[in-house]
Amino acid sequence: MENAPTQDAPRQPGAPTSLHRFANPGRFLRLTDNWLPWLAGAALLVLGSGVVWALLLAPPDWQQGETVRIMFVHVPMAWLAMGGYLGLAILSVMSLIWRHPLADLTARELAPVGAAVTALCLITGSLWGRPMWGTYWVWDARLTSVLVLFFLWLGHVALVRAFDDPERGARMGAILALVGVVNLPIVKFSVDWWNTLHQPASVTRLDAPAMHVDILYPLLWCTLGFSLAFAAVVLAATRAAVMERRVRALQMAAARRADAAPATLRGARA
Amino acid sequence: MRALVGRELRLALRHPADTLSAVLFFVLVAALFPFGVGPSPELLARLAPGALLASALLAALLPLDRLFGAEAEDGSLDQLLLSGLHPAAIAAAKALGHWCTTGIPLVLATPVAAAFLNLPIEAWGVAMLSLGLASAILSVFGAAGAALTLGARRGGVLLPLLVLPLAIPAVIFGAAAIEAAASGLEARPYLLLEAAILALAAPLAPLAAGAALRGD
């Protein structure tokens, strides 16, 4: 009966104002129906202007030259890969504690996007590494831990979809996501713990960021744009998944009715 | 829980083929390296630490996908879950059983593989220690992975995808320890780091495995 909760959320009558309000897939669909065009429009606007700013207007770096422009994609992707995984972990906690069907669906749809973002982070990084470090890949601590993060995303994608019972898949994926959280601090602090090739953090520091505003501002603008796009894609995918489950529930109901009808006919004839 | 570990051991003793095949696999993979890179002794000795670790972990993965499978099929896993034992304890017992039946034989077979790979004899002791720790780490992560993929389609393919990335730190420090010992340096810090990973994983991974076992 895994399709039962899609009809309406398992709501507690006494608590309509809590977070559980958003657990109702119907309300989720109505709300996101209004938000999504705005979100997608804002993402397009910010990202479009960010790309122009970063690729055409921002000055080349005095050391890295034009290759610094790769950073305008690489850094937001890296932040999104980690932030997205944190989001996945939060969704997993919600799914394990409150058995929240919408959290399951969102986690399921978030994981492929997160895997794609992490892959882009790795690819742009290695494209940048070739002219700057002289190699596409080194087994540096940061690179290795991000590669592990990528495998965790892929593992989640594969595990969630490997079960016939989607609820069990969601449960297993949530546990895996929580196990993988140990990797997040390793990714974050790998550049401080091991003194290898990847440079330490230059934006998120306690003192001022170690880069000029001409580069910093377009970077932050691009990050905002990519984050908006990330959220828009995940929301759209989750909406599609909710609707898909509804369609399946309707089809199952129709099939059951079709199944029942001939049986009664046969019964009548006999 | 002790009874459960005992049961695992008795099962393994009565069906020694699983253990034996894991050990044979380990030795064979180690024996493949000389054919792949040529039998030059210096090159082999350089490769030996990593090759030992990688082949041991692959060998330890072999019996993992059946860790809970047989019991889930004949229903004894449900009996165990009903027995009042905490699911995490069941998972921990299974992991311990897996290490005793796969990890220890692998450790015992290490000198053979080390000889194939021309590892300096002074490093054999450290290699056995390091492999013992690494296989124990794999056992606890592997129990969690096996519990997670229990009942999944293509579970046997999924399991390495989930477990091997988590085992990377064990490979790094394990191989570093053997390498240090082989070149006459102090291996202790690497072994301690490896043991620290085990100390962290041993209590936490069974919790995840237990949650996955209780799952449905």
Higher pLDDT, A150 or A245: A150
Query: Least CA distance to B165: which residue of chain A?
Result: A148
- How far apart CA A209 and CA A213 sit, in angstroms, is 9
- B161 close to A (CB below 8 A): yes
Minimum distance, in Å, between the CA of residue B216 and any CA atom of chain A: 6
- How far apart CA B125 and CA B162 sit, in angstroms, is 30
Minimum-distance CB partner of A152 among B155, B165, B208: B165
Nearest Cα neighbor of B141 from B214, B66, B215, B200 is: B200
Instruction: Grade residue A26 by pLDDT with cuts at 50, 70 and 90.
Output: confident
Residue A65, classed as helix, strand or coil, is: strand
- The whole-chain average pLDDT of chain B stands at 84
Nearest Cα neighbor of A146 from A201, A109, A89, A190 is: A190
Find the mean pLDDT for residues B110-127: 84
Neighbours of A257 (CB within 10 A): 9
- How far apart CA B30 and CA B25 sit, in angstroms, is 8
Minimum distance, in Å, between the CA of residue B196 and any CA atom of chain A: 14
Q: Is the pLDDT of residue B65 over 60?
A: yes
Find the mean pLDDT for residues A261-267: 59
- How far apart CA A84 and CA B162 sit, in angstroms, is 19
Say whether B151 and A163 touch across the interface (CB within 8 A): yes
Minimum-distance CB partner of A168 among B205, B208, B215: B215
Neighbours of A36 (CB within 10 A): 15
Say whether B211 and A148 touch across the interface (CB within 8 A): no
Instruction: Grade residue A11 by pLDDT with cuts at 50, 70 and 90.
Output: very low
* Chain A neighbors of B190, CB-CB under 8 A: none
* Chain B neighbors of A164, CB-CB under 8 A: 153
Q: Which residue has the tokens 């999104």?
A: A80
pLDDT more than 90, % of chain B: 2
Q: Is the pLDDT of residue A195 over 70?
A: no
Nearest Cα neighbor of A10 from A108, A119, A121, A101 is: A101
Say whether A175 and B153 touch across the interface (CB within 8 A): no
* Chain A neighbors of B153, CB-CB under 8 A: 162-164
pLDDT more than 70, % of chain A: 81
Instruction: Grade residue A153 by pLDDT with cuts at 50, 70 and 90.
Output: very high
- B156 close to A (CB below 8 A): no
* Chain A neighbors of B151, CB-CB under 8 A: 163, 168
Minimum distance, in Å, between the CA of residue B73 and any CA atom of chain A: 16
* Chain B neighbors of A169, CB-CB under 8 A: 152
Query: pLDDT digits over A133-147, tens only?
Result: 777 787 777 888 899
Query: pLDDT digits over B132-164, tens only?
Result: 999 999 999 988 888 888 878 777 788 888 888
Instruction: Grade residue A150 by pLDDT with cuts at 50, 70 and 90.
Output: very high
- ipTM summary value: 0.76
Minimum distance, in Å, between the CA of residue A256 and any CA atom of chain B: 25
Say whether B166 and A148 touch across the interface (CB within 8 A): yes
In this structure, what DSSP letter does residue A200 have?
A: P
CB A209 within 8 A of CB A202: yes
Structure tokens at B135: 């296989």
Q: How many Cβ contacts (< 8 angstroms) between chains A and B?
A: 59
According to the model, what pLDDT value does residue A82 have? 92
- How far apart CA B156 and CA A231 sit, in angstroms, is 34
Query: pLDDT digits over A162-183, tens only?
Result: 888 888 888 888 888 988 888 8
* Chain A neighbors of B155, CB-CB under 8 A: 162
Nearest Cα neighbor of A173 from A88, A247, A101, A74 is: A88
According to the model, what pLDDT value does residue A267 have? 52
Q: Which strand (E) or helix (H) includes residue A211?
A: none
Neighbours of A237 (CB within 10 A): 17
Minimum-distance CB partner of B158 among A158, A175, A178: A158
What number of CA atoms fall less than 13 Å from residue B204's CA on the CB side?
14
Nearest Cα neighbor of A235 from A77, A29, A47, A91 is: A29
Q: What is the pTM of this model?
A: 0.79
Q: Is the pLDDT of residue A270 over 50?
A: no
CB A112 within 8 A of CB A157: yes
Nearest Cα neighbor of A209 from A99, A71, A112, A85 is: A71
Residues from A in contact with B at Cβ < 8 Å: 96, 144, 147-148, 151-152, 154-155, 158-159, 162-165, 167-169, 171-172, 175-176, 178-179
Say whether A152 and B205 touch across the interface (CB within 8 A): no
Higher pLDDT, B216 or B106: B106
Minimum-distance CB partner of A151 among B152, B153, B161: B161
CB A198 within 8 A of CB A140: yes
Minimum distance, in Å, between the CA of residue B61 and any CA atom of chain A: 16
According to the model, what pLDDT value does residue A83 have? 92
Backbone conformation region of residue B128, classed left if phi is above 0, alpha if psi is from -120 to 50, else beta? alpha
According to the model, what pLDDT value does residue B121 have? 81
- B151 close to A (CB below 8 A): yes
Q: Chain-centre distance of CA A99, in angstroms?
A: 20
Lowest mean pLDDT among A1-5, A7-11, B126-130: A1-5
According to the model, what pLDDT value does residue A2 have? 40
Lowest mean pLDDT among A122-136, B30-44, B187-201: B30-44
Query: pLDDT digits over A198-257, tens only?
Result: 776 666 555 556 667 777 888 888 889 999 999 999 999 999 988 888 888 888 889 888
- How far apart CA B81 and CA A131 sit, in angstroms, is 57
According to the model, what pLDDT value does residue A115 have? 94
- How far apart CA A175 and CA A107 sit, in angstroms, is 12
Partnered with residue A65 across adjacent β-strands are A61
